[in-house]
Amino acid sequence: REYVEAYTNASLLVREDFAFEDGLFSGYDAENRKYDKTTWNYQFDENGFAKRDVTLQDPRCVWNLLKQHVSR
């Protein structure tokens, strides 16, 4: 667990508008068959640093989004 917290993005919080529905990630433009990856970014604090949840309990942390994605 220490490694995951210190050396991966697992604890970083992803934007609220990021989603994976109907087999596509948020930001897909069907007409141009391209993604706008803006929603794939992290949440940032007032100093411009990515927000973290070191407990890995926040549903928006990378760890939980990955678990949700794999469990489908």
**What is the per-residue pLDDT for 52?**
96
Domain ranges, ordered by start, for the chain:
2-71
Mean confidence (pLDDT) of the chain: 95
Q: So what's the pLDDT on residue 6?
A: 87
Would the pLDDT of 51 be above 90? yes
Who's near 11: CB < 8 A, 6+ residues apart? 4, 5, 52, 53, 54, 56, 61, 62, 63
- Can you give the pLDDT at residue 5? 86
- Reported as a single tens digit per residue, the pLDDT across 8-34 is 999 999 999 999 988 899 999 999 999
Q: Is the pLDDT of residue 35 over 90?
A: yes
pLDDT recorded at residue 46: 98
User: DSSP secondary-structure letter at 40?
Assistant: G
